[in-house]
């Protein structure tokens, strides 16, 4: 399983910007050597390890993913449901799927909890035994949602470390102001933050499934035709906005947990902020004391807007076997909210 993670990294690790790549590599080294987040990593030791890892990736970049032998059977690494049927008696959980930019992601971890949430099965993992560089903390496949607590914890730490480079006054600084990250409290506070944000991750993944139910397979087919393009990034951004309007934002506004609302906005990528300036303006107004109503109003407007835009893009794409990428990009750009 770990070799498949290495193969994926060999093919896709170069897609990160240099700063993010180095940050993720440091945290991958921390994970492999099982060092706590409160430990400062030495540049020389990380540098030597990084050279060795990049050499390994050069050897593997042309390799195909390996099948997995479990209980005497050879299984395709993307057959997550079948693999998990074999692993459940060992209290393990596995996922093999395709994420942003058509990048495959694999992980194996201890299964700490399985929850039936309406029509969804939620598998929550703890300690991880195999993972790739990206390690998305949440993924949905069909009606199964995978929540990776250890990867979420690590992602949160990466966000904190990234913020500490320049310490800007923004949504992340407001998030951290709600927690005590003094030297003696790092591990304990990170655990608390992880527990809180795990719930928001679940809300988003439920929203992803709800959005998928509305948009159908045609949306996934369209995404598959546009890998590694600006259009793909834009399409994923508008579907994420739809998913959040359907599930994440209603849940956040119902709970009214200030720190989680700040972190939601801290976690929005640049494309999502660019396409939805109205939501960012509503957030800033909320920070100035205008109350939750302004966020709720923007959420309702966004729900209708992003649903209509997604459907319009699918209709446009269906009219041609080779939809014009630039036209899709321009239509989305013209529909900023």
DSSP 143-202: TEEEEEHHHHHHHHHHHHHHHHTT--SSHHHHHHTTS---GGGHHHHHHHHHHHHHHHHH
Burial call 268-287: b when 16+ CB within 10 Å, e when fewer: beebbeebbeebbebbeebe
With beta carbons less than 8 A apart as the criterion, state whether 250 and 210 touch: no
Contacts of 166 (CB under 8 A, 6+ apart): none
CA distance 242 to 180: 33
pLDDT grade, residue 226 (50/70/90)?
Answer: confident
Same domain, 132 and 194: no
Q: Are residues 43 and 147 in the same domain?
A: yes
Residue 299: predicted pLDDT: 94
pTM: 0.86
In this structure, the answer to whether residues 81 and 151 fall within a common structural domain is yes
Q: Which helix (H) or strand (E) element contains residue 139?
A: strand 138-141
CA atoms within 13 A on the CB side of 318: 10
Provide the greatest CA pair distance for the chain: 61
190 with 238, same domain? Answer: yes
- Residue 191 sits in the same domain as residue 255: yes
Query: Is residue 53 domain-resident?
Result: yes
Residue 178 is assigned to a structural domain of this protein: no
67 and 151 assigned to the same domain: yes
Domain's final residue, options 109, 138, 155 = 155
Q: Residue 167: inside a domain, yes or no? A: no
As for how many domains the chain has, the answer is 2
Boundaries of domain holding 304: 186-333
The whole-angstrom separation of Cα 66 and Cα 132 is 15
Residue 190 and residue 299 in one domain: yes
> Across residues 309-331, what is the average pLDDT?
89
pLDDT at 321: 76
Determine the average pLDDT of the residues in 139-168.
Answer: 91
Is 173 inside a domain boundary? Answer: no
Judgement on whether residues 139 and 217 belong to the same structural domain of the protein: no
Residues in the chain: 337
Residues 215 and 314 in one domain: yes
- Asked if residue 161 is part of any domain, the answer here is no
Mean pLDDT (the chain) is 93
Question: Residue 229's pLDDT band (boundaries 50, 70, 90)?
Answer: confident
Last residue of a domain, one of 155, 176, 207: 155
Same-domain status, 151 and 190? no
Cα(320)–Cα(143) distance, integer angstroms = 30
The answer as to whether 257 is a domain residue is: yes
Nearest to 150 by CA among 189, 186, 120, 124: 124
Whether 206 and 83 map to the same domain: the answer is: no
Looking at 135, 155, 175, the residue that finishes a domain is 155
Within-domain flag for 171: no
Domain assignment present for 125:
yes
145 and 32 within one domain = yes
Find the mean pLDDT for residues 211-232. 88
């Amino acid at each position: 399983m770990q070799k498949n993670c290495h193969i994926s990294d060999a093919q896709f690790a170069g897609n990160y910007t240099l700063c993010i790549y180095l940050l993720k590599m440091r945290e991958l080294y921390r994970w492999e050597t099982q060092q706590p987040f409160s430990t400062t990593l030495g540049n020389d030791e990380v540098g030597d390890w990084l050279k060795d890892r990049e050499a390994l990736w050069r050897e593997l970049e042309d390799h195909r993913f390996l099948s997995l032998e479990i209980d005497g059977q050879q299984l395709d690494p993307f057959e997550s449901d079948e693999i998990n049927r074999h692993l459940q008696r060992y209290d393990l959980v596995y996922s093999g799927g395709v994420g942003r930019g058509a990048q495959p992601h694999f992980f194996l971890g201890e299964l700490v909890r399985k929850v039936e949430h309406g029509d969804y099965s939620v598998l929550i993992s703890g300690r991880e035994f195999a993972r790739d560089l990206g390690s998305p903390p949440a993924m949905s496949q069909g009606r199964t949602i995978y929540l990776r607590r250890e990867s979420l914890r690590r992602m949160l730490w990466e966000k904190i470390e990234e913020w500490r480079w320049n310490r800007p006054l923004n949504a992340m600084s407001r998030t951290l102001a709600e927690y005590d990250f003094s030297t003696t409290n790092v591990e304990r506070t990170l655990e608390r933050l992880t527990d809180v944000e795990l719930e928001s991750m679940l809300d988003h993944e439920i929203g992803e499934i709800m959005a998928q139910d509305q948009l159908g397979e045609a949306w996934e087919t369209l995404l598959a035709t546009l890998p590694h393009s600006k259009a793909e990034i834009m399409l994923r951004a508008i579907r994420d906005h739809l998913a959040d309007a359907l599930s994440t934002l209603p849940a956040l506004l119902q709970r009214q947990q200030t720190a989680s609302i700040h972190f939601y906005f801290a976690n929005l990528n640049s494309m999502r902020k660019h396409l939805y300036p109205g939501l960012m303006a509503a957030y800033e107004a909320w920070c100035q004391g205008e109350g939750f109503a302004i966020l709720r109003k923007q959420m309702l407007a966004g729900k209708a807007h992003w649903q209509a835009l997604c459907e319009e893009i699918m209709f446009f794409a269906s009219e041609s076997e080779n939809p014009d990428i630039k036209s899709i990009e321009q239509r989305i750009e013209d529909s900023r909210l």
